[in-house]
Amino acid sequence: MTALELDDVHREHGQGAGLVHALRGLSLTVLPGEFVAVMGPSGSGKSTLLNAAGGLITPTRGRVVVAGTDLAGLGVAGRAALRRRAVGYVFQELNLIPSLTAAENVMLPRELDGVRTRKARAEALAALAETGMADAAGRFPEDLSGGQRQRVAIARALVGERRLILADEPAGALDSQGGEEIMRVLRTRCDAGAACLMVTHESRHAAWADRVVFLRDGLAVDSTEPARGPEILLEHR
Ligand code: ADP
Ligand code: MG
């Protein structure tokens, strides 16, 4: 079974003169254990792709299938439940809840899903340790640096047994060493069987992936293995 399947996905934003075709018939498959990087210029549809894959927006045409479930067959509550259970999402704007500590932020999706507080806390601490944030469990987002907040957001996406991880520039606020650490965490998760779809501007980070998909104007223009050199393809755009 595929972890994620997008089949001829279209999505428009706005209307009238402001209508933008953010995705124009995108097809993409991610298998369990696969780490796929998405690259492309600003406005090419990368975040829209992740939002569609996570069921946060509905395609105007085409199909999104997550772990064998067609999202079109689920209502709002069903999509939210699938997302909590199976999908880890690292948002570009992080979306941590300011009134909750780091550990409480990471626990939240598990508690919403009915996991007992004690178990949820233990899982949250393990996820925070994985992203190097064990010592910050009791701190609030406003007391953390941008890079630390990013690590907490990544821990929240990893907690529990998420089979699909969607990450929009997950290392954007980290220095190069921090970025490599996070790539290693994501790579390890994929090697353990999770699927990961990650937007990145850094070919250094894309090099950790099994495959790089290049978006342009809402379409995948090329797909390659990083060993063949994303930089070379970028030069040819
Ligand atoms: P990327 O993440 O590659 O920078 P996005 O998926 O965010 O690209 O955006 C693709 C296109 O859709 C852009 O032209 C952007 O301006 C437009 N867009 C994205 N979200 C919205 C929105 N909520 N309303 C209107 N236009 C949007
Ligand atoms: Mg974006």
Longest dimension (CA), the chain: 53
Q: Which of 11, 12, 13, 221 to mutate to test the pocket of ligand 1 (most atoms within 8 A of CB)?
A: 13
In order of their start, the domains of the chain are 4-236 (3.40.50.300)
Say which residue the tokens 């500590």 belong to: 101
Taking the chain (237 residues) in consecutive chunks of 10 residues, what is each chunk's mean pLDDT? 96 92 96 97 96 94 95 90 89 90 96 94 96 97 95 94 93 92 95 96 95 94 66 45
Q: Which of 15, 19, 47, 199 to mutate to test the pocket of ligand 1 (most atoms within 8 A of CB)?
A: 47
**Distances, alpha carbon 64 to alpha carbons 92, 120, 236, in Å:** 21, 29, 30
> Rounded distance, CA 51 to CA 168, Å?
10
Cβ atoms of 205 and 198 closer than 8 Å: yes
Which one-letter amino acid corresponds to residue 188?
Answer: T
User: Atom of ligand 1 at shortest distance to CA of 51?
Assistant: 6
C-beta 47 within 6 A of ligand 1: yes
Identify the CA nearest to 30 among candidates 56, 66, 72: 66
**Residue 229 pLDDT:** 47
**Residue 161 pLDDT:** 79
> Rounded distance, CA 20 to CA 29, Å?
24
- Gap from CA of 43 to ligand 1 centroid (Å): 5
**Residue 85 pLDDT:** 85
**pTM, 2 dp:** 0.91
* Closest CA to ligand 1's atom 24: 13
C-beta 179 within 6 A of ligand 1: no
Alpha-helical regions (H) of 64-175: 76-86, 102-112, 117-130, 146-158
Q: Considering Cα of 123, then 128, then 131, then 134, what sign does the dihedral take? A: negative
Cβ atoms of 38 and 61 closer than 8 Å: no
